[in-house]
Amino acid sequence: MKVHLLFAPTDGGTHPRTLPLGQATLAAFLRANGVAVDQDDVDALVWRDNRTLARTLHVNLLLLGDRGRVLPYLDGRPDPYLDTLVERMARKVDVRGADLIGLSVMEPDQVLPALCLARHLKGTTGATMMLGGPNVGEETLAAAPYVDYVVMDEAEISMMGLLEHLEGTRSVEDVPGLVYRDADGAVRLNDRAHLPIEEVPAPDFSGLPMDVYALDVDGAAVLPLPYQLVKGCPSQCTFCNYYSYNLDGLRAKSMDKVVSELARLSDTYGSRHFLFLDNTFNISKRYVRDWCDAVVQEGLDFLWMDSARPTGLDRSLLDRLRASGCVRFTYGVETGSPRLLKLMRKGFTVDDAGAVLEASHDAGIWNLVNIIAGFVSETEEDIALTENFVRAHAHAMDNYNVLVFIPYRASVIMQHPEEFGIEAIIENRDVVWDGNRAHIHFDEGGVPWDRKKEVQERSRQELLAALRTHTPNVSAPAHLLFRGYELFDTKGEIVRWIRERPGGPAAEMGW
């Protein structure tokens, strides 16, 4: 049986900043088990061709994300122009001979383009059509008759089970993590199961358009390779739904496996740049020290970046991490309010976060800080405390994201709204189209949703004003930052180099 895996396009049409890790890991697993697998990244192919072909031949991804236009089209309303766009998108991949086509939907803005592509390919090939990823589920299958199956969460065990079912050697009810239609047409979801982490292979990127992901920066090719050391997260943040997928607890690869796979990936693809996609790198001090020791013992010469919790990292450990090749940590600080940190169950204090940012900055690591605006029960005092935190640690915040609070469906807040003062939840959505992180409206503490939206936006603007006033705010895409750390010895030099680049870093990277 032949499988063709496709990474769905986003509706924004921006540069695909990294290779699809989940899809490439699944491809590696299937190939190791004797399955014939092809793979493509439709997002990358559309971006490349939109930059090189005449505009009349472009795929307008923004239009493919237009709900008002696309939803009636998916329901069967004729739309010749959308037909043309979807056909152009489909022609970029050769799926002839595929028995099963799997579309990877990792982000909410991939849902509509993926469904358009699935509908078209189902009609033109007749292949079994499967969708996978955190933004599709039971509702997707119920609403999309052109999709045959959906795989929830990690796909390795589910995909092998599905192939066995399609070959007639396994009952559909016995395939872990599979969403399917039973004999009566009802949608069912089987219990999920994960592959032991030591059996998860390194990603295999063969078949993907590597030239799209590698960018030339001052005469050197920079190709960030995605990799994951840890599955799960030690945090129990109330706004996040990751805990609901964390069936097996925190799972970390052995350091022998990590260094072996990284060395092999570096040799295979000729890159020393790694984008670690962990929820949290510093799951324990011991794991961090083991990593630093392994880098020295194996003589690894890599540059890498990841996410980290702003706690449990002192200057000496951060110096070792910088020496191991760390160039950036993304810290989910979220707020400068002690009350909101407790409500979020972040597991650290405002003082912890400030101390880690300072030590990380002094160690020479680039600090990207995430802030949440408009959290549940946020007050002017909470906003002022966050502004105070920004002023106190502005010099240690190289870049930031301010994210308006939108709850995940499976989060603690949405499962127990009464504990957070939420009086009513109104899901103004169809879960199929919004993905996992939908626009859930809620009334809170006597404040109706329309008013809450205004409060959230005011909070965002106040926090942005404070950050713009006090922090360096240097936008540094991964490609550019990796190259900067190769060329210069200090963050100050890197900042000047980035700011002096013509057109700005985003324009230079084609974003």
Residue 52 inside a domain? The answer is yes
The pair of structure tokens assigned to 211 is 């030239």
How much is the pTM? 0.93
- Pair (255, 157) in one structural domain: no
List, in order, residues 6 or more apart from 211 with CB less than 8 Å away: 48
- Pair (183, 245) in one structural domain: no
Residue 357 inside a domain? The answer is yes
- Pair (347, 394) in one structural domain: yes
Q: Where are the beta strands (DSSP E) in 115-177?
A: 128-132, 149-151
Give the residue from 189, 222, 254 where a domain finishes: 189
- Pair (293, 233) in one structural domain: yes
Asked if 241 and 410 touch (Cβ cutoff 8 Å), the reply is yes
CATH classification at residue 74: 3.40.50.280
The pair of structure tokens assigned to 454 is 């205004």
The pair of structure tokens assigned to 245 is 């997928």
**264 burial via Cβ count (<10 Å: 0-12, 13-18, 19+):** exposed
Residue 202 inside a domain? The answer is no
Residue 237 inside a domain? The answer is yes
- Pair (180, 311) in one structural domain: no
- Pair (422, 327) in one structural domain: yes
- Pair (335, 428) in one structural domain: yes
Give the residue from 189, 223, 246 where a domain finishes: 189
Residue 198 inside a domain? The answer is no
Give mean pLDDT in consecutive 10-residue pieces for the chain, a chain of 511 residues: 95 78 97 97 93 88 90 94 96 96 92 95 97 90 96 91 97 96 95 92 96 91 96 86 67 95 97 96 95 94 97 97 97 97 95 98 97 93 96 95 84 86 67 54 72 88 92 88 95 92 61 47
Domains of the chain: total: 2
Q: How many residues does the chain have?
A: 511
3-state helix, strand, coil in the chain (%, to 5): 45, 20, 35
- Pair (322, 451) in one structural domain: yes
Asked if 338 and 349 touch (Cβ cutoff 8 Å), the reply is yes
- Pair (273, 136) in one structural domain: no
**494 burial via Cβ count (<10 Å: 0-12, 13-18, 19+):** buried
Residue 201 inside a domain? The answer is no
Determine the pLDDT at residue 65: 87
Residue 368 inside a domain? The answer is yes
The pair of structure tokens assigned to 424 is 């009513």
- What is the full DSSP assignment across 383-442? HHHHHHHHHHHGGG--EEEEEE----TTSHHHHSGGGGTEEEEEE-S-HHHH-SS--EEE
- Pair (472, 361) in one structural domain: yes
Residue 206 inside a domain? The answer is no
Determine the pLDDT at residue 177: 93
Task: Map residue 42 onto helix, strand or coil.
Answer: helix
- Pair (178, 227) in one structural domain: no
For the chain, the first-to-last Cα distance in angstroms comes to 38
Q: By residue range, what is the domain housing residue 41? A: 2-189
Give the residue from 189, 206, 241 where a domain finishes: 189
Determine the pLDDT at residue 434: 58
CATH classification at residue 368: 3.80.30.20
- Pair (437, 370) in one structural domain: yes
Angle between helices 67-74 and 111-125 (to 10 degrees): 30
Asked if 122 and 135 touch (Cβ cutoff 8 Å), the reply is no
